[in-house]
A = this chain, B = another copy of it.
Amino acid sequence: MGVVVSFEDRKDVASIDPLLRLTASDMESVNQMILRMAGSDVKLIPEISKHLINSGGKRLRPMLTLAAARMCGYAGEGHVKLAASVEFMHTATLLHDDVVDESDMRRGKPAARMLWGNQASVLVGDFLLGQAFRTMVDVGSLPALGVLSDAAAVIAEGEVMQLAAAKNMATTEDEYLAVIKAKTAALFSAAAEVGPIIAGLGAEDRAAFRSYGLNLGFAFQLVDDALDYGGSSAKLGKNVGDDFREGKLTLPVLLAYRRGSDEDRAFWKRCVEGGKIGDGDLEVAIDLIRKTGALTTTIERAHHYGAIARDALAPLKDSAYKAALLEAVEFCIQRLN
């Protein structure tokens, strides 16, 4: 399946390996489940699904569900179905996102819409979402269904919000955070919260995992935003400048715009609002983002949310799962280094 990227495992560096090791066996079941859910006599469906499944995504979201459930003592099989459903919800969103954003590439490969067209991407996305719901209904937990269906509506609402706000350079940091809360953090949050739910734990544990997932989601997205202007592509499967070339309004851009000179602001308006990007503009953008401290601030914000995520889990009993989930927060942020 190619989901595991090998990372350096130095002592002073946070690693995702403990989480990968603890969930490895369950993730194998999730991968089997995903293949079954992508099955259909309508050949286009497994074709497109496999393109996405094999595209090297990190599968962090289903790992959260698996680890949270196990950490809470869950001993059944429902967490595998919920984890697979979470991944399908995410995949459906990517398919529709690429159509809406008119993206050519996804994780360094041609986007599904470039290979099979927008129409198939919309409809196969709908199918994956339908399969996700069907599979989570099968688990039979109404509270888990409530959390995941809430997330589905919130994610879609966030996408529409982003469409409406698109390319408006006057977007504030608060407004941007509302978008990524809906687009990214809501699914991380739901993925983590269904663990304690199916384990039968109470409101306090649910709230702890919900908060952990939400804040990890914020940190993850902000790091993703920062990487576009300064990370090495090998670590992310995304190339520096992808967001810039697509005119995406992210926190580094918003901050650089706010803190910049009149000339800087004209530059951002031309590139992001006007969509007129020429040779050398990416280098200028990276320079402005570093010069204004926008990159540093974005990383600081990620640390802020990461700290909240860790504190959310702090009161819970120590375990290998807890340690792995805490280290995963650090790992997500250290991708920046």
Contacts and interface: CB of A to CB of B under 8 A. Distances in A.
Contacts of A331: none
B123 A159 contact: yes
Interface stretch (A71-79, A130-138, A267-275, A296-304): A130-138
Q: How large is the interface on A (under 10, 10 to 19, 20 to 34, 35 or more residues)?
A: 35 or more
Contacts of A134: 146, 149-150, 152-153
Contacts of A100: 119, 122-123
Contacts of A234: none
B42 A126 contact: no
Contacts of A163: 44, 119-120, 123
A13 interface: no
A129 interface: yes
Given A119-B163, A157-B40, A149 B137 contact: yes
A307 interface: no
Contacts of A145: 133, 137, 145
B157 A45 contact: yes
Contacts of A140: 142
A120 B165 CA distance: 12
Given A126-B129, A127-B160, A142-B142, 4 more contacts: A42-B157, A43-B164, A45-B157, A123-B156
A96 interface: yes
A308 interface: no
Given A123-B96, A160-B123, A153 B131 contact: yes
A119 B165 CA distance: 13
A133 B150 CA distance: 8
Stoichiometry, copies per complex? 2
Interface in A112-128: 118-120, 122-124, 126-127
A311 to B, nearest CB: 30
A261 to B, nearest CB: 33
Contacts of A40: 157, 160
Interface in A199-233: none
A161 interface: yes
A99 interface: yes
A248 B43 CA distance: 21
A190 to B, nearest CB: 12
A155 interface: yes
B152 A133 contact: yes
A126 B164 contact: no
A164 B44 contact: yes
B152 A129 contact: yes
A138 B147 CA distance: 11
A154 B123 CA distance: 11
